[in-house]
Amino acid sequence: MNQQEKLPEGNQTQLMEFILLGFADMPHVQWLLFGFFLIIYIIILISNGTIFLLTKIDPVLQSPMYFFLANFSFLEICYVSAILPRMLINLGTQRRRISLVACATQMCFVFMLAATECLLLAVMAYDRYVAICDPLHYPLLMNHKVCIQLVTGSWIIGVPVQIGQTYQIFSLTFCGSNIINHFFCDVLPLLKLACEDTFVNEMLVYIVSVLFAMIPFLLILGSYSKIISTILKLPSATSQAKAFSTCSSHLMVVVLFFGSAIITYLRPKTSHSEGTGKVLSLFYTILTPMLNPLIYTLRNRDVIMALRKLVCK
């Protein structure tokens, strides 16, 4: 890393750009990482795009569950597109510079989309809860209007909160080092560069994490405790297996996404490690969007049949 990219520690001038360190500590594999993440990005775009397309054109997939899955796939494309293109540019050009405005914009979009993902996963759990625990009222409780309202709420509820949080963070004065030890503009590495007390900002991060991660996660766990209890009461093993298969995919995604995100933002400050933070971030920002289509496709017979029909055509 060029030492000229650092500002003197005593310089109190407000920073106007940052350096996203990313994976600069592995200089000999930069092009290998570029190719690796480029392939992952292409896989995410194609796989999630295919699921979104299938749910729109196949008559069998015109149900609330697949309506939510289509929105989830579209969300994943938006989510990784807020992170991976900038990461690829940094790996390809080795410049790593990002302006203060661009950094704030990236952080705001990443957090808004992450909040949407948390809420949408909770909505999908509620859909499975109604379908299995109250099947007779399912068409009434999950009609098209209700589905649209749930999805719309998931997309917009987090917007004002995350805009406000981003504004508060970038109202701080940043001076001294301008190096963010991360592959995107994440809040915790950025707060370490502030010249003033960040206690209020850190508390806000915890509060927002509880509201948009911990609470939806607990609601999902509550839904699945009811679902599992209901499934175990079903008379036939075939019915139990079918019910489990429709829920296990969603539960796998929930554990992978929420587990890594909650550990990242709610662990004690004393246990914060920049290297560990980057690895955990890879799970919920890149690995989960890549695995989601695979998880849903391999464990869903309707999606597999729709994919076969599309390929045959």
Question: Average per-residue pLDDT in the chain?
Answer: 87
Q: Does any domain span residue 1?
A: no
Q: Does any domain span residue 11?
A: no
CATH code, domain with 279: 1.20.1070.10
Of the pLDDT bands very low, low, confident and very high (cuts 50, 70, 90), residue 273 is low
Is the whole-model pTM more than 0.85?
yes
Q: How many domains does the chain have?
A: 1
Q: Does any domain span residue 10?
A: no
Cα–Cα dist 33/14, whole Å:
33
Q: Does any domain span residue 158?
A: yes
* Residue 52 C-alpha from the chain's centroid: 17
Of the pLDDT bands very low, low, confident and very high (cuts 50, 70, 90), residue 204 is very high
Q: Does any domain span residue 7?
A: no
pLDDT tops 90 at residue 262: no
Tell me the mean pLDDT in the region 112-116.
95
- Higher local confidence (pLDDT), 270 or 19: 19
Which residue has tokens 């869903």? 300
pLDDT digits over 5-61, tens only? 444 444 455 678 899 988 888 888 989 999 999 999 999 999 999 999 999 998 888
CA-based nearest residue to 297, from 129, 63, 54, 45? 54
* Residue 88 C-alpha from the chain's centroid: 18
Q: Does any domain span residue 269?
A: yes
Q: Does any domain span residue 2?
A: no
pLDDT digits over 81-102, tens only? 999 999 999 999 888 899 999 9
Q: Does any domain span residue 164?
A: yes
Q: What is the 3-state secondary structure (H, E, C) of the chain?
A: CCHHHCCCCCCCCCCCEEEECCCCCCHHHHHHHHHHHHHHHHHHHHHHHHHHHHHHHCHHHCCHHHHHHHHHHHHHHHHHHCCHHHHHHHHHHCCCEEEHHHHHHHHHHHHHHHHHHHHHHHHHHHHHHHHHHCHHHHHHHCCHHHHHHHHHHHHHCHHHHHHHHHHHHCCCCECCCCEECCCCCCHHHHHCCECCCCHHHHHHHHHHHHHHHHHHHHHHHHHHHHHHHHHHCCCCHHHHHHHHHHHHHHHHHHHHHHHHHHHHHHCCHHHCCHHHHHHHHHHHHHHHHHHHHHHHHHCCHHHHHHHHHHHHC
Q: Is the dihedral of CA 182, 253, 158, 65 positive or negative?
A: positive
Please list, in sequence order, all residues whose beta carbon lies within 8 angstroms of the beta carbon of residue 94, skipping any fewer than 6 positions away.
30
Write out the residue range of the structural domain in which residue 197 sits.
17-312
Of the pLDDT bands very low, low, confident and very high (cuts 50, 70, 90), residue 3 is very low
